[in-house]
A = this chain, B = another copy of it.
Amino acid sequence: MGTRGRRRAGSPDARQAILEAARAAFARDGYNASLRGIARAAGVDPALVHHYFPERSHLFVEAVYDGPDGPVMDPAVLDDVRRLPASRQGTALVRLFVTQWDRMGADRFAAVVRAALAHEGVVARIRELVVGALVTPLVERVAPDRVRLRSQLIAGHLVGLGMTRWIARLDAVSAASPEELAAAVGPVIQHYLTGDLGDAHDGPAEEAGAFKTVEEPRE
């Protein structure tokens, strides 16, 4: 990147060049990597970095999520899931999550979680971009009720799955193929998408087999 000429603000790939430079800088220098150095490596004016990413946390989250095949944050990555019947989206979402992060790498998953623990701005940006802009819109198309709780339970379960596979590396979860995890975890995500979440004060959730799902939710 550093050898190219300086990009103008309107350059279509300036934003992408900033993300690529940022990804390398954050991986090398951590969360407090120099924004000026990132601009220089991307061949852009430092003001342009600020223009696209008003906060360091915005740049960090998008850079870590930015994949070799384009930004993972793009809601389009969920199109394949959205096109399925509602009753099959749980399994598809698990398969997508596992294959995507398997490809992106355990280190990047750990980097996101580590930064989220250390910087409130990173947590806030993940809340906005991952839960708010990716998971919630998927859920609200099919859920019968309680969209926020469902979205947050799904996001939390996927993060927890990632913690066991890419950070704690628990053996059975780590050894499982994406398909095996989709089969084991998919029905759970499906339950959070379209199932009956129960009621704190009556008993249906207490008994095994009471795992009711709502028939053919709207799509």
Contact = CB atoms under 8 A, between A and B. Distances in A.
Contacts of A190: 208, 211
A83 to B, nearest CB: 15
A110 interface: yes
Interface in A185-203: 185-188, 190-192, 194-195, 197-201
Copy number of this protein in the oligomer?
Answer: 2
B153 A86 contact: no
A161 interface: yes
Interface residues of A, number: 69
Contacts of A172: 146, 148-149, 151-152
Most buried by B among A116, A165, A200: A200
Interface in A107-145: 110, 113-114, 116-118, 123, 126-127, 131
Contact of A198 (B171, B183, B200, B207): B183
Contacts of A116: 167-168
A104 to B, nearest CB: 17
A56 to B, nearest CB: 18
Nearest to A216: B208
Given A160-B156, A184-B197, A88 B206 contact: yes
A161 B153 CA distance: 7
A163 interface: yes
